[in-house]
Amino acid sequence: MKKRFVCVWFHHLEADWFAMRKPALKMAPFVLAAKDHGRMVITAANALAEEQGIKKGMVVANARMILPALEVLDHFPELNDKLLNKLAEWCIRFSPCVAIDAPDALIFDASGCAHLWGGEIDYLTTIITRLNDRGYQVRVGMADTIGAAWAIARYGQSSPVIEPGMQSSALLSLPPASLRIEQELVERLYKLGLHQIKDFISMPRSALQRRFGQPFLQRLNQALGMEQEFIQPVQPIEAWQERLPCLEPIVTLTGIEIALEQLLNSLCKRLEQEQKGIRTLHLHCHRIDDAIITVSIGTNRPSRNLKHLFKLFENKLQTIEPALGIELFVLDAVKVEDHTAVQEKLWEKQGGLHDTQLAELLDRFTDRFGRNCFHRYLPDEHYWPERSIKASQSLEESITTAWRTDQPRPIHLFPNPQPIEVTAPIPDYPPMFFRFKGQLHKIIKADGPERIEQEWWITEGQHRDYYCVEDEAGQRFWLFRAGHYDAAKTYGWYLHGLFA
């Protein structure tokens, strides 16, 4: 795809911001000024002041001699950077790659974007109109190179669009300052009679470098497309992202659903080609009032099933408030994993954790009830029961040791054994009674003991003698005595689990 860049030049950035907050300033010449070596120096001026000859860098006292009615406002040191950052984030609706060109411009990588607005002229017209509506005066340029777009935005006199491959001829009539070179170098060129780029563009490159330096030659080559130039976006571009700008703001749930379906369809096709699947997906809805509404889904296993992913979003779409309308939808797959299609066999029924339908069912539960609505546990290599299991982080995690099935284990295991009061014969008989939470249980059946000790490299705690017991009400419990019977009663009885 041929690269296309857009430069948006805010030639009265700070002045426009002040005028938006004080509408009366729109009809009066004013400047912003800051102290410099004991003098008030102009840092920015509005269009009306510039028409009267007031320029940036002038001393306020001199400017008032030219225009006594000039209004002077205090300059905010960090205002310019904050405005450019905010505008860059807002302009992401026009391109996913927006960079700041300090002190007063933005650069878009608009490759493949213009057709979404009906063409390059309509694309630039939309940008200008939207920024004008916000109160900013702008000039724009579009070309194959950043340098050419920058030059046309500031010095172009005709169309703001340079046709692909035509930047060389478009730059011929522009002044040397359009190459983004130092003012000192511009003055040197003027003294030599080189008032336009056509006056020196055909000179030997070695002569230009020897006379004006490598930075000058680099800027010229960048503008002509002979040397590549890169920009740093204000927001990193997601590798798996789909965008859908809207010609008319979307205000209905049906419109949101149609937009989401189109985005999912495009994204899933890309994922299928790369053998990838989605684990985490965000839908960003950019509203006209600058608000961004985000809804997210997650899957337990990589998926590119369009219907399933749309179903996960379906309930959350109702929480989106379009207000005056949504003008841009962005679908970001922030977590993507390898996902290779598995050959299905008619003579073998696939089930268990590898069943796709089970994974999708769990996705729907998670989407509706939250991440902690279900748990999966795996055996761990420890003897003590509370340490012999561990929580699994995913359905893909495999078992490293076998489940112990030679002895019965309770369905419900307490994370920490609960102390109980026990009446039991000695030395190794099961208990006859035990009291738990104030309730007395009479034991009528018992089996045990089963001795469980810790690993040899762990020395904390005593050994345990476990009993499976049943009380008069038919309830079954898993009890244990920690340690041997002794006269000092260093042992203790605990309830560790319930069988039903």
CATH code for position 179: 1.10.150
- Looking at the fold, whether 448 and 416 belong to one and the same domain comes out as yes
Q: What is the mean pLDDT of each run of 10 residues along the chain (500 residues)?
A: 90 91 89 89 90 89 89 89 92 90 92 87 93 92 94 90 91 92 91 91 89 91 90 82 86 92 91 88 89 88 87 87 89 85 53 64 70 74 82 72 83 90 81 91 90 80 89 93 79 89
Q: pTM of the prediction?
A: 0.66
Among candidate residues 199, 224, 249, the one where a domain is terminated: 224
User: Do 38 and 131 have their domain in common?
Assistant: yes
Place of tokens 């000192």: 184
Residues 10, 136, single domain; the answer is yes
Q: Which of 96, 125, 155 is the last residue of a domain?
A: 155
The structure tokens listed for 89 are 């984030």
150 with 173, same domain? no
pLDDT at 112: 85
With respect to residue 473, please indicate whether it lies within any of the assigned structural domains.
yes
> For residue 219, what are the contacts with CB-CB under 8 A and spacing of at least 6?
147, 179, 180, 181
Would 323 be classed as within a structural domain?
Answer: yes
Asked whether residue 88 is assigned to any structural domain, the reply reads: yes
Does 151 share its domain with 10?
A: yes
Pairing label, strands 71-74, 30-36: parallel
Structure confidence at residue 461 (pLDDT): 75
Q: Report yes or no on 399 lying in a domain.
A: no
Judge if 14 and 135 occupy the same domain.
yes
- Is residue 103 reached through a cis peptide bond, with omega within 30 degrees of 0 on the bond before it? yes
Q: Do both 133 and 178 map to the same domain? A: no
Total count of domains within the chain: 4
pLDDT, tens digit, for every residue of 23-33? 888 888 999 99
Q: Is 180 left (phi over 0), alpha (psi -120 to 50) or beta?
A: left
488 is a domain residue: yes
Same domain, 34 and 121: yes
Kindly provide the b/e burial profile for residues 366-400, where b requires at least 16 CB atoms within 10 angstroms of the residue's own CB: bbeeeeeeeeeeeeeeeeebeebeeeeeebeeeee
Please indicate, yes or no, if residue 269 is contained in any of the structural domains: yes
Instruction: Answer for the pair 319, 304: CB distance below 8 angstroms, yes or no.
Output: no
Q: What's the pLDDT score for residue 350?
A: 55
DSSP output for 88-123 = HHHGGGT-S-EEEETTTEEEEE-TTTGGGGTSHHHH
CATH number, residue 97 = 3.40.1170.60
Which residue range(s) make up the domain with 202? Answer: 167-224
Is 140 in the same domain as 249? no
Please tell me whether residues 280 and 201 are part of one structural domain: no
Please indicate, yes or no, if residue 124 is contained in any of the structural domains. Answer: yes
Show the CA angle centred on residue 213, arms to residues 207 and 219, nearest 5°.
Answer: 100
Q: What is the pLDDT of residues 149-184, one digit of tens each?
A: 999 999 988 889 999 999 999 999 999 999 999 999
Q: Looking at the structure, do residues 196 and 77 belong to the same domain, yes or no?
A: no
Q: Residue 346's pLDDT is what?
A: 47
Residue 87 forms part of a structural domain:
yes
- 180 and 252 in a single domain? The answer is no
Domain end residue (candidates: 366, 399, 425): 366
Please say whether the beta carbons of 153 and 11 come within 8 A: no
